[in-house]
Amino acid sequence: MTLEIETKRLILRVLTPDYAQDTLDFYMAHPEIYEKYEPIFKEEFYTLKYHEKLLQAEYQQTLLMRMFRFWIFEKDNPEKMIGTVSFHGISPDIYSCCSVGYKIAPEYWRKGYAYEAINASIEMIAKEIGIRRFEALVLPDNTPSIKLLEKLGFEKEGVLKEKIFIQGQWRDHIMYGLLVK
């Protein structure tokens, strides 16, 4: 099982709880950006203890191949966390699918890092776990994310009405799918 992926410019790593301060710092740097697309974070989310528990739980789920969260680092600055790409709801066998999520720090937007990280990690998940269908949900007004998914080869499959409760309201999401053969 691959816990680290290298691309031309990036290193993607599954992290242990030793990195809790780094993940907390990542979210604390731009909470207004990340909270815009996520369910409301509780106060405890912004604590070291929470991130230690979260990383431990995610690491255990990775060992069971139920989910993967790769944290993204630049090769030229391997200690600086710049984003994350995750795969959850991994269902091999008859469904052979999973959901994809991603975040990139705003100072790294429009540099091709998200494309590079998602593309490389999809390749690994498809090859090592045998997943052939990848799904991504995106808010209808998130044009940069829509363009990214389309560039990766995802196709719009429809609108899921009031799919996720974000920032105090039920929000529609567009379902995108990618088949890897």
As a dihedral over the C-alpha atoms of residue 151, residue 153, residue 159, residue 162, rounded to 10 degrees, the angle is -70
What is the per-residue pLDDT for 40? Answer: 64
Residues 6 or more apart in contact with residue 25 via CB below 8 angstroms = 81
Angle at 22 between CA 20 and CA 10, to 5 degrees: 120
Name the residue range of residue 145's domain. 4-179
What is the per-residue pLDDT for 36? Answer: 80
The DSSP 8-state label assigned to residue 96 in this structure reads -
The Cα 118–Cα 153 span in angstroms is 11
Residues 6 or more apart in contact with residue 112 via CB below 8 angstroms = none
* Whole-structure pTM value: 0.94
According to DSSP, the β-strands at 133-138 and 77-91 are unpaired
The count of structural domains within the chain is: 1
What is the per-residue pLDDT for 32? Answer: 84
Residue whose token pair is 């994310």: 145
What is the per-residue pLDDT for 154? Answer: 98
Give the H/E segment covering residue 133: strand 133-138
- Provide the token pair at 7: 């691309």
In 3-state terms, what secondary structure has residue 67?
coil
Cα 102 from chain centroid (whole Å): 3
What is the per-residue pLDDT for 15? Answer: 97
* Crossing angle between the packed helical segments 48-63 and 20-29, to the nearest 10 degrees: 120
pLDDT tens sequence for the chain (181 residues): 899 999 999 999 999 999 999 999 999 999 888 888 877 677 889 999 999 999 999 999 999 999 999 999 999 999 999 999 999 999 988 899 999 999 999 999 999 999 999 999 999 999 999 999 999 999 999 999 999 999 999 999 999 999 999 888 999 999 999 999 8
Residue whose token pair is 């600055």: 77
Looking up residue 16, the CATH number of its domain turns out to be: 3.40.630.30
What number of residues does the chain have?
Answer: 181
